[in-house]
Each structure stands twice: as structure tokens, then as C-alpha cells.
Amino acid sequence: MKCPQCYSSQTTKNGHRRGRQCYKCKQCGRQFLETGRRWRYANDVKQLCIKMYLNGMGLRGIERVTEIHHTTVMHWIREAGVQLPDAPEAEEIPEVADLDELQTFIGNKRNKFWIWSAVNHQQAGILA
Ligand SMILES: [Zn+2]
């Protein structure tokens, strides 16, 4: 990790702040956080999570198995969904469908929102 002030690579780890690694420069004493690089998951990990979801596993369940945060998985599912062509109208509305509910929040805990997906087990695809 390079110092943002003097560009020295003589830095040491200096605890954590808000879940991010903190560093201290041995040369100039500047303290800094690890650069906001995003977590990158391999494509096969992503595909596996999407497969688990499509097979009826809930987002919390996927999180428990893979230890990948449910909002990350939710983001991948949404991303994959956008790329799909529009599904043809279902000829039959199934009598039984699976519902998956996810409650989370944006920004602060009071700003709750829910995502419901209805999955048809007779055909591939999400009903609503
Ligand atoms: Zn420095």
C-alpha cells in the first residue's frame, strides 16, 4: 500500500475504520484508508449465486452458504435480469408459486424497502 502523500511504500497496517483496513506511513506519518477498491468476485461465483437463486434459494440462504452479502447477490440478479430478453407471456397462470421476500434498507434503517419475487416452478422464469 502506497502513501497518498509521499508515495512511500513503507507503510504499516494501523487497525480498521468502518470495516476498512487503515494504514500509517513510516516516512511521513500520514494515516490513510485502503483505497476504495470494490470487492470483485469471479464470474463463476456470480453465476453460482444466480443459479442458487433461480433454483428457489432465498437471498439470505445464499448469503449464509457463500458468505456474500445478500445485497451484492441481489445486484447480480438484477443485472442478469436486465440482460434477459422479455419472457413470452405465460399461457397459464400457475396455481402455486414460490414467494421470496427480502427486507433491507437504503442509507439508514428507517428507510426500509421490500423486494418480493414470485417464482414459477412449472416453467423457467420469475412471474413477478
Ligand atoms: Zn508518507
Cβ contact 46:69 at 8 Å: no
**Half-sphere exposure in the Cβ direction for 46 (13 Å, CA):** 12
How many domains would you assign to the chain? 2
Cβ contact 100:116 at 8 Å: yes
Judge if 22 and 55 occupy the same domain.
no
Instruction: Give me the domain span that covers residue 12.
Output: 1-37
Residue 128 located in a structural domain: no
Distance 85 CA to ligand 1 centre (A): 51
Residue 26 pLDDT > 90: yes
Distance 55 CA to ligand 1 centre (A): 51
Residue 124 located in a structural domain: no
pLDDT at position 34: 79
Distance 20 CA to ligand 1 centre (A): 19
pLDDT at position 87: 61
Q: Which backbone phi and psi does 43 adopt, to 5 degrees? A: -60, -35
- Average pLDDT, stretch 87-116? 79
Could you tell me the pLDDT band of residue 109, with boundaries at 50, 70 and 90? confident
For residue 124, which amino acid is it?
Answer: A
For every residue of 64-114, DSSP letters joined together read HHH---HHHHHHHHHHHHHHSPPPPPPSS--S--EEEEEEEESSSTTSEEE
DSSP H/E element including 24 = strand 20-25
Distance 2 CA to ligand 1 centre (A): 8
pTM of the entire predicted model: 0.41
- Average pLDDT, stretch 18-39? 81
DSSP H/E element including 78 = helix 70-83
Distance 38 CA to ligand 1 centre (A): 24
Residue 37 pLDDT > 60: no
Residue 6 pLDDT > 90: yes
Q: Among the listed ranges 43-47, 80-84, 121-125, which one has the minimum average pLDDT value?
A: 121-125
Judge if 88 and 114 occupy the same domain.
yes
> What residues flank ion ligand 1 with Cβ within 5 A?
3, 5-6, 8, 25, 27-28, 30
Judge if 78 and 29 occupy the same domain.
no
Could you tell me the pLDDT band of residue 76, with boundaries at 50, 70 and 90? very high
Judge if 65 and 26 occupy the same domain.
no
Helix, strand, or coil (residue 20): strand
